[in-house]
Amino acid sequence: QVQLQESGPGLVKPSETLSLTCTVSGYSISSGFYWGWIRQPPGKGLEWIGSIYHSGSTYYNPSLKSRVTISVDTSQNQFSLKLSSVTAADTAVYYCARVSVTATNFDYWGQGSLVTVSS
């Protein structure tokens, strides 16, 4: 069974960089599939942030592209998110997820990690 777990600071100061890591168990990232990050502001809907392949190939939401970096560490079976110059509008629950074999949806999700941007 594929499992994903987000980890990282729950509080980030405005203008700083948000960093989260997703650890995957039950499946080797090196074996394939794309992996992604999605966020959900409190009480609001879902927003896709970006995705990465085990080779390191990435694609990002154009609305966030200038501030987002997603990387992968196959030796640790992890992938990571960095979001720079954060503001209060970036306060959200951040989910990591696996992109399905059809590459069109997300079939496994982590439990989510709340990140609050505040001084």
Partner 1 sequence: QSVLTQPPSVSGAPGQRVTISCTGSSSNIGAGYDVHWYQQLPGTAPKLLIYGNTNRPSGVPDRFSGSKSGTSASLAISGLQAEDEADYYCQSYDSSLSAYFVFGTGTKVTVL
Token reading at 115: 């990140």
- Least CB distance from residue 97 to partner 1, whole Å? 8
**104 in contact with partner 1 (CB under 8 A):** yes
Cα(92)–Cα(113) distance, integer angstroms: 8
Interacting residue with partner 1 among 22, 33, 36, 91 (CB under 8 A): 36
Interacting residue with partner 1 among 13, 111, 114, 116 (CB under 8 A): 111
Torsion of the alpha carbons at 33, 103, 9 and 23, rounded to the nearest 10? -20
**48 in contact with partner 1 (CB under 8 A):** yes
DSSP state of 14: T
According to CB under 8 A, which residues from 59 to 98 bind partner 1? 59, 61-63, 95
**106 in contact with partner 1 (CB under 8 A):** yes
Interacting residue with partner 1 among 46, 55, 56, 116 (CB under 8 A): 46
Please name the residues in contact with 79: beta carbons below 8 A apart, sequence gap of 6 or more. 21, 22, 24, 29, 35, 52, 70, 71, 72, 73, 96
- For residue 93, how far is the Cα from the chain centroid? 10
Which residues sit at the interface with partner 1, rule CB under 8 A? 36, 38, 45-48, 51, 59, 61-63, 95, 100, 102, 104-107, 109-112
